[in-house]
Structure 1
């Protein structure tokens, strides 16, 4: 064997021994299979983990059910309205009229229903109204919000003749808190024009602006109220305009 061949064979043997030593070092240090096994273990899914997560979610649901506000709300209120009655020519027909009224409402999240009743002994009529309410802004009755309503009001008049007047209406109610306990409330109601056998053609709208202060679940409020009514007698051409303006005060309870 020549010296060159001997030297080449020696280099090949030394390189093979060095490679085997490096491979053995990698395996002995856990570089290859130990680290890969650790990564696989970290991403492993097991039945025990699933049961632990399920139990944790159940505890979170219980906590949320105990600490979340109820989706149901209720309101009960009552008030007293003192007003003056003005005729078409601007004169005061009568003064110091009074009306006693009550109202209630029930909500399930942003949808609610309501009812109103008022009794006017001076003008010999009573009103009963039902409302369907849709809250488009705000999350509770005691928060800033905007509510649209649609309803039906029935007025029973017991003067010389008994007359029943039913009118559908649309309403917008904007409530705004200026502080945590004090706020403003504006309401506009438009009654759909109707024709009545005794009264004739009737048109009407209502505007109410209120200030209020809350004490926990109790609200005390005061309102300026203006109601406009236009009546054209059957077969007639003259229209009688009546305007009622006054102050309404009362309380509301929220549940």
Structure 2
């Protein structure tokens, strides 16, 4: 009987000790997890530093360098006009001006061609990235183009949309590209016109003056009222200068 009582007392003591150890262990683990959740490590600091650097870079790229900006430009285009597989060399004198208030801009362009036409474009710009036209920037735009011919007299009006990108490689040298999509418009004889234009090139900035050179390709599709389809292709180069104020 004495042996049974001794064994029973031992089991009760062991059970109490195990419960105490379990409680103690759970408490230690819980506290350790709480410490781990608030622990600051070198890895955390590196991650936060990268995040802060990225935010600082974005703010630096998009800070305002002045509320107002005015630009004027002029250039000479030389290109081959291909109609039905036969190229013919032509030239265009191009002039333009733009005005920005913060990230919003208005732009005007005039093209005067040896082909006997003039094109005037009126455009709304929205700068999505960049502090000014003389920083790395991405700009979206929407506009309308009036295309008038002298002989025979004809006129086409196209709405268009696109985007242009400027990337500075060094503090004074960069690359630029532009894409335009001209939506369908009708001329005086109800012929439909739509176009696509791609431009790409480079530039050098000397203070507020930019010298640029670029290549371009423009394809114009036509569809007469009778359903006859043709296309013209203008491909060439342009050199010019821009002034930033």
Question: Normalising to structure 2: TM-score of the pair?
Answer: 0.72
Structure 1: how far apart are the matches of 2:182 and 2:224?
A: 18
Tell me if structure 2 keeps the 8 A contact 1:218–1:254: yes
CA RMSD of aligned residues (A): 1.3
Q: Which has the larger radius of gyration?
A: 1
Tell me if structure 2 keeps the 8 A contact 1:199–1:231: no
2:242 aligned partner: 252
Q: Structure 2: any 5+ residue segments left out of the alignment?
A: 1-63
Structure 1 residue 138 corresponds to structure 2 residue 138: no
Structure 1 residue 102 corresponds to structure 2 residue 104: no
2:218 aligned partner: 227
Tell me if structure 1 keeps the 8 A contact 2:65–2:131: no
Tell me if structure 2 keeps the 8 A contact 1:225–1:247: yes
What stretches of structure 1 move > 4 A for 4+ residues in a row? none
2:74 aligned partner: 78
Structure 2: how far apart are the matches of 1:194 and 1:73?
A: 32
1:114 aligned partner: 107
Per-residue deviation, residues 115-158 of structure 1 (Å, max 9, x unmatched)? 000101x2110011111000010010100010000000001111
State the 1:199 CA deviation: 5.4
- Of 71, 91, 101, which aligns to 2:86? 91
Structure 1 residue 192 corresponds to structure 2 residue 190: no
- Of 184, 198, 210, which aligns to 1:207? 198
